[in-house]
Chains A and B, each alone.
Chain A
Amino acid sequence: MKFDWFVIPFLAGLTFVFGFCCIKFYLWIQRLSRGEKALLKKHFFSPSLWVSIKEIFNESLLHRKIFRTNALLGYMHTSLAFGWFLLIVLGNIEVKFYSHYSVNPPYVPIFLNYFEPNTAPHFFGRGFRFLMDFLLLIILSGVALAYLKRFQPNRFGMRRTMQHQVLDKLAIISLWCIFPARLLAESFSAALYHNGSFLTNTVGKWLSFLPVDNLIYPAWWGYSIVLGIFFFSLPFSRYMHIPTEVLLIILRNAGIRSRYFNHPFQQVDIYACSRCGICIDACQLSTLGYATQPAYYLRSLRYKTQHNELTENCLLCGRCVEACPVGIFSTDIRSHERTLGHEMNSVHYNFSKNIPKQKNVEVLYFAGCMSHLVPGIKKAMTSILNQSGCSWSMLDEQETVCCGRPLLLAGQITAANQVIMHTRSLIERSHARILVTSCPICFKTFKENYRLNANVLHHSQFIKHLQDEQRIVTQRISAHVKYHDPCELGRGMNVYNEPREVLSHIAHLLPTNHEKNKSLCCGGSLGNIFIDVDSKLQIATNTLQQMDIRSADYLITACPLCQKTFSAVSPIPVKDIAQLVADNLLLANAENKNNYAMISENA
């Protein structure tokens, strides 16, 4: 067996990383519940495993999602990850041609030019040498870009970058040194044995003025040592994301999600964060100077540092989750952490009194707390519902009740469950088949936490159905409008198209720079407990600037909270989608009063 003492740093590092990952992965998987383990097992023996393998190839190696953020940034990641991967694969294939043994220790392909210096004249030898040089060049271009990114992050589409810890910096520097060290060692080898190709031969020629004979052995030592340093720092630095992301993709595709704080899947999420910093630009709180983004939050969770502020200071708008190239559900982790230790002292809701008797209706309308602050929405929905000719009633006309989500967002599970129980009993009393709500916050919680028999619709969806079935008729106006996707309705519930279709029937809908899942938060979010109202208004102002609303006559939104927040700072009128529809209602034909079976079936 071929051996030389200089492979020891590399071999020790590799063994360490392998052992560390095996133990860590085993501990995580062991902590999964029995049902989750069964899901994982099922995933391994089903065709869906191919989905995972494909995703691992696309995301862990090709980094396709980063290409969507910025092409140059994507190329940098692909050249390093996929280039290095191909280098290892090709190295292993190449070894098969030269080695006398069928099984080789892992260091032989890495240091092949040391162990087998006379490969060039061999059959395929030149081809292999050329490919290896070509891959090394690609990787070196990636390293050069990584250097450049330190100084000019703007060129990579990043306005703000992550402030790294000492250990991360050590790991980055060793990573940066690996490939130049390989180039040096292989160039010396090429200068001595002429076993290189276009790159190493050329560099070897340039370096031939040096005492190559004496330098080649230290160069191999150097290459092995930087590899060793990188491997030893990997488990404790951001580069732990490389092995963990593979596990994350498999667990996620098996259908496992983090259900409570410190769930094993959450640990995988935390270790899979590469701290690339893409979430920093996505987060609107970074414009206010807060370092509260998932990269920082997950880091403080991983190293168990103090982070009460980070847990609370998040809008839970979901922009970071949408932007994350690894697909980490960081908002879930924050929500779960909020349930710990901050339970309210005691809650006491004496709801039971004064519950008005509900008549049996087809459509039950729930305005929601926030809509009571914007009575225009209630009024608009009243005239739309009257015009539609269906039997309806309003659940919270006299007394507002809460849906419970504001408590949930603050981590108050026990209190929220009391509210949810009460409000659900109110809803079910009416036996309505359709529940329409004006507030996306209520909408999300009705859908996710209530398990109602009624079909829950946001009012934009309901209006869309009314329009489609011509139960209401609207006139066209010449106004130009821009639509703002509320976080809870868009990223929260994936309702993007219905409001747009409703609007395009009435006015000219102008596009914005932040459409659909890229939409900006108004800042008013109840998810953030930490920042004060002034900061929220500042976020709202920034959002309006970025949406460039001055070219429109109205800003339209579908959430009373967004409307209230924007109205305080907007130079143009802000309207709810229901208000625009109600303002432009034409008299509908009265005979079209068939029942609502169609809507409840279609929806």
Chain B
Amino acid sequence: MPDFGFSIQSSQPIDLDKTYRAVYNFVKEKEPSIQRCIYCGACGATCTAANFSQMSLRKVNLLLLRGQIAEVRQLVEHCLLCGKCMLVCPRNVNTRKMILLIHQALKMPLS
């Protein structure tokens, strides 16, 4: 077989029925406004931390739902808690509390 310089990636299916939701549920229980998110991305567009990282709260929220905790961990460690995302959020999600709760959940043995 000729070498094309790339290979076929193994599939990474996400089964939403089987995903790891412990962190998401922990946050949802304490800060129900996380469920209002419509993934518009306004938070990521205004994010101060996005100047020097891939941080976007929209992405964090999606990753939480998919149970991709390792990726969440990499993103939230850039957050400066400046609260701009909270001010631009059209759905009034309490984003600062959300980030603090995610950090709290990540420290717990459940993740």
Contact = CB atoms under 8 A, between A and B. Distances in A.
Contacts of A533: 33, 86, 89, 92-94
Say what secondary structure dominates the interface of chain A.
Answer: loop
Contact of A532 (B33, B77, B88, B100): B33
B106 to A, nearest CB: 4
Contacts of B88: 373
B63 interface: no
B51 to A, nearest CB: 4
B94 A373 contact: no
Contacts of B83: 369, 406, 526
Contacts of A402: 48, 80, 82
Contacts of B35: none
Interface stretch (A275-283, A347-355, A461-469): A347-355
Given A344-B100, A402-B48, A529-B97, A372 B84 contact: yes
Most chain A CB neighbours (cut-off 10 Å) among B46, B52, B89, B92: B52
Contacts of A561: 87
A342 interface: yes
B82 A369 contact: yes
Contacts, number: 90
B73 interface: yes
A131 interface: no
Interface string B88-105: 110011101100100110
Given A345-B73, A373-B46, A532-B33, A406 B82 contact: yes
Interface in B43-85: 46, 48-49, 51-53, 73, 76-84
Interface in A341-398: 342, 344-351, 353-354, 369-370, 372-373
A533 to B, nearest CB: 4
A494 interface: no
24 contacts: A344-B77, A344-B103, A345-B76, A347-B77, A348-B77, A351-B52, A369-B84, A370-B82, A370-B87, A372-B46, A373-B88, A401-B48, A402-B80, A402-B82, A406-B83, A412-B81, A524-B87, A526-B83, A526-B96, A529-B97, A531-B94, A532-B33, A533-B86, A533-B93
Interface of B: 33, 46, 48-49, 51-53, 73, 76-84, 86-89, 92-94, 96-97, 100, 103-104, 106-107
